[in-house]
Structure 1
């Protein structure tokens, strides 16, 4: 049986992962994600930090689905079908889509909960947490400092390598 890896061997370092701040807008977040797609990096989420004095603390995770759900909630306050019958370019000129992407990230994020792993933990710990909690993204800490992220696709690649 192959030796189990440590989380730090599978994680995506923060330096290679999209990051925004809680005070940024969804428009800012979309631009950050687009930048990472141009660089051939396939991320569907980003880490959200908040500034507290001179420190930056991890505030939560923002996924593509969170962005879309927020836009939906802000634009579809009337007939649910109306958004899809309008041209996006025409609709953007209206206030609802423009206002929805002006929403602060802190209003759309998934706040951090107790699920995270440390860099020196075995990958099996990350797998157990992801499977039992039904999550696809797991922050990685070194002590109290966030240093990376483990995604479900990273776990799947690891399992595939074991086969």
Structure 2
């Protein structure tokens, strides 16, 4: 019965998601995420996010395509400032010494918004709706065990309406 499903039952397990390092530059992260996309029968499949690992290989956050799009916007602003107005350099504190945006700069930390694995589907829907997110980390205590995507919730809602 769909109304009794938990987050754990509809999540994508951690092991199936791409992983990047928090110190990677955005271009490296994009390449890693692209490796998880594939085409079948004219349709592209893959994940719109990657798990972010810190220097000790602990999960630190999630990098989403939305975060990547924000990074490209920041890159355009940076390029504009560097070419047109040197005073803009005072506002570029988000970039490392090479003036590159790293994954850490744009990732969403795990501790901001998440659910426990035994949370109801209704709790998942409420959080995704309230926070306007398309990817929700699923925790077992403090350990990340998976993520729920908007499409995962969509299928459950379809079952509820049947």
TM-score, normalised with respect to structure 1: 0.74
What displacement does 1:10 show?
A: 0.3
What displacement does 1:102 show?
A: 4.7
Q: 1:78 to 1:17 in 2, by over 3 A?
A: closer
Q: 1:78 to 1:47 in 2, by over 3 A?
A: closer
Q: 1:72 to 1:133 in 2, by over 3 A?
A: closer
What displacement does 1:101 show?
A: 9.8
What displacement does 1:2 show?
A: 5.0
Matched with 1:50 is: 54
SS of residue in 2 equivalent to 1:36: coil
What displacement does 1:142 show?
A: 1.2
**In structure 1, C-alpha distance between the alignment counterparts of 2:152 and 2:30, rounded to whole Å:** 23
**In structure 2, C-alpha distance between the alignment counterparts of 1:48 and 1:139, rounded to whole Å:** 12
- Segments of structure 1 that go 5 or more residues without pairing to the other structure are 80-99
Matched with 2:67 is: 66
CA contact (8 A) 1:47 1:60 kept: yes
How many residue pairs match? The answer is 142
Matched with 2:129 is: 131
CA contact (8 A) 1:4 1:123 kept: yes
- Segments of structure 2 that go 5 or more residues without pairing to the other structure are 81-97
What displacement does 1:3 show?
A: 4.4
Q: 1:2 to 1:132 in 2, by over 3 A?
A: same
TM-score, normalised with respect to structure 2: 0.74
Q: 5 Å matches for 1:2-151?
A: 3-38=3-38, 41-52=45-56, 56-77=57-78, 102-151=100-149
**In structure 2, C-alpha distance between the alignment counterparts of 1:78 and 1:48, rounded to whole Å:** 26
